[in-house]
Structure 1
Amino acid sequence: MTSNEPSFVKAERRGTVMLLVIDRPAARNALNPAILTKIAEELTAADRDPAIHAVALTGGPKNFSAGADIDTLSGHSPASYLASPTRRAFESIYGTSKPIVAGVAGFCLGGGCELALSCDLIVAGDNAVFGQPEINLGIIPGAGGTQLWRERTGAGPQVEAALLGHLVDAWTARRMGLADEIVPAERIIEATLDKALAIASKAPLASRTAKAALRGAGAMNLHAALAHEVGLMAGLLGTEDAQEGTRAFLEKRRPRYQGR
């Protein structure tokens, strides 16, 4: 991305939360490599910044993202797609260690839906529409859309999304577990920030470790996942934050976490 090329992503610190807003309204926030790379760069910076405890990612009250720019898909060979900036960006986004809350209003389709599913919680505006319509273009989701739905909804909705390209509204998404909360669309930025700030108020090491435990469980059987959780918990017990949390509880005061 050159210095003269707009990133279409606004980044702003709100206390201990990094707020990222996709801002490409003329294209319904369609994703291109520059947008995804910018999001990945901001998330990497947030991961490295001890003052940032959580991230809020939204497209505002009209659209989260209508999907990927179709122009960016045409002309790819199998090898070039696997090595593309888009693939690297999605891998970086999913690998972010700090909790991310997605605020989804309007269209959340294709790559946009996969971007939301790469986050940890989804706050949906009452006008939200989720879907993976790639099958209608003769392709399939390529950034988690055939896998990440299962983590939230189970196999049935995932199969319909991938094979039929069905779209679901906010209320259906909430019933199936795709969305965690529904708010009026005009409040989507505020509500997403509120959720992220609530997470950021907790012990930061514990929040990151909880995310690691949740993400790791999907790739393991139950026995291995339980052992993984135990190991992560044992590691936390040696931190100053864990000692502060128990001490504050016993002293009936608010804990003062330092991320150590």
Structure 2
Amino acid sequence: MVTFKEELKKVVLQSHRVFNLIDEIAKPTIALLNGITFGGGCELALACDIRIAEEHVQIGLPEVKLGLFPGGGGTQRLPRLVGEAKAKELMFLGEPLSTKEGKEIGIINKVVPTGEGLNAAQMMAKRISGYSLQALSRIKRSVNDGMELEFKAALDLELNHFLDVFQTEDVREGVQAFLEKRSPKFIHL
């Protein structure tokens, strides 16, 4: 017979797998926040690379107020984003942040007026998608993987990605377009 604890563990591990897939996808990810973003919703947003919030949004990890604990990666992703002390404060108090406060500490990248979030996210996504996926994916891997390494090892990782990107067709196209004073047409190879 499966116990409640075993069943709960299974559910939490599944959410970890989903959030990790989002975090580790090679392409940049953008979360659009347009309402209350508490608990698991906040943890989902933290798994994304960029967070755009409409000005009425509140964000936070209020689990402590219910005697609960952030279990979807919040205790690990939030400190990496805002620092250990601020993350502990936010989780110990469980108070929601306004978009202004969220932007000030780095949880939110951009605040837009209510109703304009989808357009802002699509514009940013379109702009990013115009760049080389070869470069974008290496930037993302360098940052994500480098955060887990000592600084010198992280610089070595960056160097390896920098050298690898010079083997791509997109670098050749980007440099050629620059020399010809035109916009590059990346093929993501």
- Alignment TM-score > 0.5, same fold: yes
Q: Deviations over 1:179-200 (max 9, x none)?
A: 1111012001111111111111
How far is 1:86 from its partner? 2.6
Q: Which amino acid aligns with 2:102?
A: A
What is the aligned length? 185
TM-score of the superposition, structure 1-length normalised?
0.68
**Preserved CA contact (<8 Å) 1:131 1:166:** yes
2: CA distance between counterparts of 1:247 and 1:234? 18
Q: Which has the higher contact order (CA 8 A, sep 6+)?
A: 2
**1:83 matches 2:10:** yes
**Which residue of the partner structure matches residue 134 of structure 2?**
205
Instruction: Decide which structure has greater strand share.
Output: 1
Rounded to whole Å, the distance in 1 between the matches of 2:161 and 2:182 is 26
TM-aligned CA distance change 1:119 to 1:213, over 3 Å: same
Distance 2:86 2:148 in 1: 20
* RMSD after superposition: 1.4
Aligned to 1:8: none
Question: d(CA) in 2 for partners of 1:229 and 1:190?
Answer: 33
- Matches of 1:147 and 1:218 in 2, distance apart? 12
Structure 1 segment 71-220 matched on structure 2, within 5 A = 76-77=4-5, 79-84=6-11, 85-220=14-149
Q: How far does residue 138 in structure 1 lie from its aligned partner after superposition?
A: 2.0
- Higher mean displacement: 229-238 or 91-100: 91-100
Amino acid aligned to 2:136: S
CA contact 2:32–2:118 (8 Å) conserved in 1: yes
Q: Gaps spanning 5+ residues in structure 2: where?
A: none
Gaps of 5+ in 1: 1-74
SS in 2 for 1:142: coil
